[in-house]
Amino acid sequence: MEPDVNMIEQKIRLIERQPVSWNKEETWLRVQKQVAPTAKRYRVYYYAAAVIFFVLFGVRGVHYLKNDSLVNPDENAVTEIVTETIPSIEKEVVQEKVIAPEPVYELHTEHKHVSPMANAQETTVLPDTKIEIDLEVEELLLSFSEEVHPQKVMPIVGVITDPVYDKVVNVKPKRKKLFHKLEPGEKKISEDYQNTIIIARIK
């Protein structure tokens, strides 16, 4: 470092330590405004992260608790879950009635266990109930909504070949005389009746 540098530095630093008039308060307020939002911003981030954490892991925790209670049947736990799930099933039934007409249920008698399940099954929960019902309703709706598309039967146009024509032409109604009048036979029947053939036809 050059020899004059220390001397200049000391002089300037001495001047800088003297009080000076400037907008100190205003600058401080601006500093506060800048610093406070930064701290608040970080606080907001922390809270948001905490909320997301509890939402994610809290929901999963409840799910695991439910599963545990179903695996290890505790009577109280099971009844609580059942009381929670039954209203949702009833709602599904109401929606089902709105969507599908009543004759649909009468037609499909083999699936009758589906619709009364909400009323009958009070102790078990079938998670896929809604999916089954929806599929049935869709099938029935399809069967009812089938439309018949009439098609005109077109005549078969063709050429009759000669042999066929000949056969057709040659076919003439043969009128057979099925009934013959019995002619009076000989009045005298030969005595040799053993060798006589009697020809007769029954009417």
Q: CA separation (Å) from 53 to 46, 59, 61, 139, 195?
A: 10, 10, 12, 43, 124
d(CA 145, CA 97): 17
Least distance to other proteins from the beta carbon of 48, Å? Answer: 20
Give 168's contacts (C-beta < 8 A, 6+ positions apart). Answer: 160
Q: Which two tokens stand for residue 50?
A: 């905490």
Tell me which H or E stretch contains 69: helix 24-71
**Judged by CB under 8 A, does residue 40 bind other proteins?**
no
Indicate the residue among 27 and 88 with the shorter CB distance to other proteins.
27
**Judged by CB under 8 A, does residue 186 bind other proteins?**
no
Choose the binding region for other proteins from 30-38, 60-68, 128-136, 158-166 (rule: CB under 8 A). 30-38
Question: Which backbone phi and psi does 84 adopt, to 5 degrees?
Answer: -80, -35
**Judged by CB under 8 A, does residue 17 bind other proteins?**
yes
Indicate the residue among 15 and 168 with the shorter CB distance to other proteins.
15
**Judged by CB under 8 A, does residue 44 bind other proteins?**
no
* Residues contributing to the site for other proteins (CB under 8 A): 1-5, 7-9, 11-20, 22-24, 26-28, 30-32, 34-35, 38-39
